[in-house]
Amino acid sequence: MIKNSYDEEQIDDYEEEDDNDEFVASFTAKQKLKKTEVIEDLTYLEEEVITAYLYPLTTLTGKKVSMGLRVAKDKMTIMSVDIRSQIKIKAYLSQSDDDYDLIETVDPMNPSEQIMRRSENLDFITYNLKEIDLGCLYLLTKEAINEDNFSTVKQYVAKTIIRSVDTDGMEMSFASIEEFSSSFKTPPIKIVLSPPMTEKIKEIHVTTPKGTLVGNIKVVDNDGHFPELIAKEGTEIYPKLCFPFQTQPVLSIVNYWSSDQIIPLKHITAYLDSKGLNYDDDFSLQDFLVLGDSSKYPTLRIDHAYSIRYTTLGKREVGRWKGGSYNGYYFDSTWEDYNSSAEIKVGDKYGYTVTTAPDNKTRQTLYQTITSIEDVNVTSKQSYRYTTAFDTLLLMLTESFWKDYEFKGATKFEYVNGEQVEKINDTRIYEISQKYSQQDRYAVNTNNWLSWKKINQDKVNSNPSMTKRIESTIALLSGYIKSNFSINKGDNDDYKILLPFYFELQNAIDNPVNYVGYTDIKVKLKSLYFEFKGKNISTKVKEISNNIIYKLDYNHYAFPEVTSQVETSSIPSSMPLDQQTANGEYSKYQLKQFSNTSSIQDLIKQEYGNGIINYNPISNGITNNGEFSLDKNSFVSELKVSSFYGSGLWRFNFVDVNNNSFIIDLNLFDKTETKNSFINLIL
């Protein structure tokens, strides 16, 4: 008879047997694993068994790479390793290759040029690995890493990690970090020793290699937006206008704002200092532009005036009158100061005295009325240092004004015998109009200066720096002088963009009725890029992330951003007349240098107009160092960096909202590829 149930004692016996079976199975597995390791230790040579260390890698912002990496010639993913996540293993090497091979094409446009690079691979099996995330990328080293040895220890990156089919081990294949490269020798990943950034970032501090000209540093947040990166107080951004003229064999650029066509900023400020003036005061250029013989006192001539107002100061005699009406005299006379103002104008009535009797003693007052004030000449005694070169500049300024004013008032129309006849109304204006009639206005006005130079060749040869200063002044006065020495010939206000600073005329002629000419040039220092206030100069450029759109009277313009394809300039020369924003063939980049150190800021200011037009990053030696704030605290996913001559060590210090700093040192750009100017850092 078969029983369908068990008593309690039998059940307890079966439960005890089940527990024993589980223990035996567990013990057997451990013994099997231990036996496997013992067998492997006996099977492999001593040098084929190594102790290694695994570290899971994430992006700098803590993301896994299970979705893959974006690899391109201008992209680099920053991977973070945390030494606290170390996994120690014993690796049994099945293969260890270490050789050189042609593994990469340098330039897709030139497939015959390749790189011979050392390649090292480690294939092995390991056991007793408790936890491993197969969706994670791993770093392997042969010694435990720390802050001291991280930059020197040999590093390997996982290619494959799979579970062994016939054993309880894990089969792994690692390649040296150097093998992870892409076209143009830009490694797709860069491993840094840092905990991941998991909070919003509020600041980024940047240090570049010496001589680097920065294009832009753009932040990309998790939504693909571009928060603005703005210089903090104390960090000054200095713009540079550069024209690349060749990219092979090396990148070469014209540093236009350092050319001798720009008056050195330090010369202008030194002149203002000598006059006891602030940098935002208006001042006369007469003592700033001294070349040639002393001219006569400058004379202001007006052919037809309506009114003349003047003040006289001096001394006059006072005393008591003694004697008759006609034969008396003053005695006890003394002298006193006087100050008297007067005005005459058309329509005024004045009395004058005439004698009417034969004895010439009878007097009568008659009256005269002013109907016209003609041929007024006012000679200035104040401008004692006027020179003939400055007179020529006054002439150019005067003629430019009347040409722009369309010689209004030069002629007038009268009716003679019932017919309308054109007659000369103002001789001086008419003479200028005939000088420019059917002529190239720019050439005519330029010839005023060229003729003076030819006549005064000895003065020009003995004073080349002052000659250049005067010609550069014409460029700074491009808004008022039409000539071949003016930016874009002075036809619009491009000069405000294409010059680091310019002169704003303070004594401009305004709607004259008759001829007037300039007898002085009073200006104020102005700039779209600099703020001149008191004795201080600060920069207006605050953003490092974007190029500003400048709004002018005739134009809106933004300099193109530096990309991976540097365009060379096709300008035939760097003459001011060739500088214009409207011509797309003129490749212009506005690069930047920045600093938060006053001594370095002073050095950068001295570069404007220093005459070194061919930029040399080695001799420049300026290290950019600045602190920037995001306009909105953001989770940062990318950093886009562009520059000229940016090869070398960059330091980025990311500061999160909790004031934690994440300092990342990166070797960016290839020193053998100077035209490589853009990189996208995936964070």
Contact call for residues 157 and 138 (beta carbons, < 8 A): yes
363 falls within a domain: yes
70 falls within a domain: yes
pLDDT tens digit string along 410-419? 888 888 888 8
Provide the pLDDT for residue 106: 53
Which string of DSSP letters, residue by residue, matches 225-272? ----EEEPTT-EEEEEEEEEEE-SSS-EEEEGGGSTTS--HHHHHHHH
Q: How many domains does the chain have?
A: 4
Cα distance between residue 667 and residue 646, in whole Å: 9
Cα distance between residue 206 and residue 565, in whole Å: 24
Residues 393 and 266 in one domain: yes
516 falls within a domain: yes
Residues 351 and 264 in one domain: no
Which of 683, 677, 615, 619 minimizes the C-alpha distance to 647? 677
Contact call for residues 202 and 632 (beta carbons, < 8 A): no
Sequence length of the chain is: 683
pLDDT tens digit string along 372-423? 887 777 776 654 457 899 999 999 999 999 999 999 988 888 888 888 888 8
Q: Residue 404: left (phi > 0), alpha (psi -120 to 50), or beta?
A: alpha
DSSP state of 294: B
Cα distance between residue 5 and residue 11, in whole Å: 10
Residues 400 and 536 in one domain: yes
Residues 6+ apart with CB under 8 A from 325: none
pLDDT tens digit string along 87-97? 998 888 886 66
Q: Please give the average per-residue pLDDT across 579-583, as a whole number.
A: 60
Q: Is the pLDDT reported for residue 11 higher than 70?
A: no
Residues 6+ apart with CB under 8 A from 33: 127, 128, 168
Q: Please identify, among 558, 584, 608, the residue that sits at the C-terminal boundary of a domain.
A: 608
Provide the pLDDT for residue 277: 95
Residues 157 and 273 in one domain: no
Provide the pLDDT for residue 3: 32
Q: What is the model's pTM?
A: 0.78
Residues 6+ apart with CB under 8 A from 82: 55, 194, 195, 196
Q: Is the pLDDT reported for residue 112 higher than 70?
A: no
Residues 184 and 133 in one domain: yes
Q: Please identify, among 139, 159, 193, the residue that sits at the C-terminal boundary of a domain.
A: 193
Cα distance between residue 270 and residue 277, in whole Å: 10
Cis peptide, bond prior to residue 572, ω within 30 of zero: no
27 falls within a domain: no
pLDDT band at 635 (very low <50, low <70, confident <90, very high): very high
Extract the tokens encoding 449: 């200066």
Residues 171 and 224 in one domain: no
Residues 439 and 492 in one domain: yes
The strand pair at 75-81 and 189-193 is best described as: parallel
Provide the pLDDT for residue 533: 94
635 falls within a domain: yes
Most confident region among 10-24, 178-192, 259-273, 289-303 by mean pLDDT: 259-273
613 falls within a domain: no
Beta strands in 436-529 (DSSP E): 502-505, 522-526
31 falls within a domain: no
Residues 445 and 528 in one domain: yes
Residues 367 and 387 in one domain: no
DSSP state of 660: -
Contact call for residues 127 and 49 (beta carbons, < 8 A): no
CATH of the domain at 644: 2.60.60
2 falls within a domain: no
Q: Please give the average per-residue pLDDT across 440-445, as a whole number.
A: 91
Residues 450 and 561 in one domain: yes
Residues 6+ apart with CB under 8 A from 447: none
Residues 480 and 392 in one domain: yes
Residues 168 and 52 in one domain: yes
Domain coverage including residue 174: 39-193
